[in-house]
A and B are shown apart, each in its own frame.
Chain A
């Protein structure tokens, strides 16, 4: 097959995965939150309410696309795209299995995190162009928090890179064959969890769309499919951070105590997806329980605590890798 056709198929597969994820994740969120809160989630459409998200998507598609008069038309139109497209591009380097990667980049980690850092640009464009003071506040908060946590995110992702010796995400997973990296790099795991929650705008850090303060934050003025794109991008970001966490710390496609050889090749992506969904379940569990952190407390946490702590842990890991190569395993 010509490489162009293969590339197109891969892109379509990524798009399909993103949309399917959106549908499944929204349903899963509503059901999980419902049961955590001693109530049922959606139950009407389909068995156990399975077709609720499809109905919601159809509803969003058929709604009127309202354009308020005084918005900045160019930015208002582009902002959902600016949030959605980087999110879609970041699927490129995620290793679902040793062979199922859309683009086996040697700088996979750097590419993913770099692309995802374009999302705050779209959020602030959405907030600014809406010509609505509440959206502006939401956009400003989003930019503040996401820029603050870009650095701890990458710094927390560095210890697995040091242990595996490569920025290629598939290599990092392969290097976790014996011990998964969440154990030797436990503080980095926690820092990555916190930074990832913030980058994905999830409670306890969802200040930019704090619905008890700002109604819907930066997405207030959007309707119909523009809102659908913003909403979808949020869930897609959650999936991406969960899959980054699984890749870097939780062993990717490996099973816990069983060697890979007994698993058929088709089972590896399934294991990966199951793990990602388990992580997302934990994120939703946190979302349904914890209150929100205040924006200035969050920024203080980022600059004063998380940044020095992740730098310190990098130094510890570096020392450990050189001094104890056997305990920390790895390619080196």
Chain B
């Protein structure tokens, strides 16, 4: 990765920091067939620029290509930096949720939840049980919506257009439910320190029940359309392999880690917000290629549906907001809270100094480490493989750049 101080401007490449040891290419490219003189070839430096249909956000990839194969790749980020962590130092606690929504904009509830949990730890606020269950239900609805976006864009990266529209059709129902409960389809501002802002409405419950009747059939169709497709399997099997050691070394969490064989899920291992009362399974795969990540996420979608059903049927009575001051001034201290976002372990480290806005809020974006891993695994891949691998890592630039 480039020098983090250069987060906005890129200091130029093929310059002083070119590694001196030669890059080793796979043998198939190095040995020419017998009798043929070696051709003088030059590597092509291409820019998969910030505006590209396939990079999930404004990501710039500098690629050095030998024909179709990538020799070296570098990711340049910072095009979406808005200063969320700095702005949080000037907002009240109930307004920081509006900032956190805009980090990983595909799964806003979980961002707000991470911050709310950290603030509750610092301020020692008690959250009512119903609020915890509501948080879990909204988180799982949001996880399903986020994975549907991943599923659709995975199809688009591989070249198929239909899957995206079918995923969006299902996502529209979920966004309708979220709009009914919180007021907006994407920037929810729903989870606050202390609980949630509004209780669930009867119309939202009715919409959710209608949705749950048909989603199982649609999930079958989704998995048959993409995963069952032999062309897609040929693109994904054996591509972009991430070993367990690599994943742990890069700090990967979430579905990427579980697809490499390590079973770690924040919801089960460090439970928060009523997840200890839910029954769900954690899918794990061992190959670590793109197809394994695909299968893990499809299964996670089904488990999310299971959790949503449990939440709907077993929702306890109670308040939706705990006892918290209108202008929240927690005592001085620090706390770290993590949630399982669709991209991995999303953590918020909060330092409070007793005033009504945080002193420092650090947002640990799981997608940043996934992108680092993606960048490290680029050499040796073809361009088409690179597009598919980066898509299967499921990162969102809003989270990486903050």
Contacts and interface: CB of A to CB of B under 8 A. Distances in A.
Interface string A292-305: 11111100000000
A18 B251 CA distance: 58
B384 A204 contact: no
Contacts of B186: none
Interface residues of A, number: 29
A97 B53 CA distance: 45
A137 to B, nearest CB: 7
Interface in B204-240: 225-226, 229, 231-232, 234-235
A215 B225 CA distance: 25
Interface stretch (A34-42, A54-62, A163-171, A311-319): A34-42
Contact of B231 (A36, A37, A288, A290): A290
Contacts of B383: 137, 213
A296 B232 contact: no
A104 B164 CA distance: 47
Nearest to A292: B159
A264 to B, nearest CB: 40
A289 interface: yes
A38 B234 contact: no
**Which of A33, A137, A210, A291: most chain B CB closer than 10 A?**
A291
A294 to B, nearest CB: 5
A33 B385 contact: no
Contact of B234 (A203, A211, A288, A294): A294
- Main secondary structure, interface of A, reads loop
Given A133-B46, A288-B161, A212 B229 contact: no
Contacts of A39: 165
A294 B387 contact: no
Interface string B244-285: 000000000000000000000000000000000000000000
Contacts of B365: none
Contact of A292 (B52, B158, B382): B158
A294 B161 contact: no
B169 A212 contact: no
Contacts of B332: none
Interface string A275-299: 0000000000000111111111100
Contacts of B387: 212-213
B44 interface: yes
Contacts of B384: 207, 210, 213, 292, 294-295
Contacts of B165: 37-39
A191 interface: no
Interface in A134-160: 134, 136-137, 141
B160 interface: yes
B54 A291 contact: no
B162 interface: yes
Contacts of B53: 211-212, 215
B159 A203 contact: yes
A212 B157 contact: yes
Contacts of A215: 52-53
A242 B155 CA distance: 27
Interface in A34-90: 36-39
A252 B229 CA distance: 32
Contacts of B79: none
Interface string B29-54: 00000000000000010100000111
B68 A295 contact: yes
A108 to B, nearest CB: 33
Nearest to B53: A212
Contact of A294 (B65, B164, B169, B235): B235
B377 interface: no
Contacts of A203: 159-160
B156 A212 contact: yes
Contacts of A288: 161-162
A101 B364 CA distance: 70
A134 B63 CA distance: 12
Interface of A: 33, 36-39, 133-134, 136-137, 141, 203-204, 206-207, 210-213, 215, 288-297
Closest 9 CB pairs of A and B: A292-B159, A291-B158, A37-B165, A291-B160, A291-B159, A212-B54, A294-B384, A133-B46, A291-B232
Given A39-B165, A136-B44, 17 more contacts: A37-B165, A134-B46, A137-B68, A212-B53, A212-B157, A213-B387, A289-B160, A291-B231, A291-B232, A291-B235, A292-B160, A292-B384, A293-B234, A294-B234, A294-B235, A294-B384, A297-B235
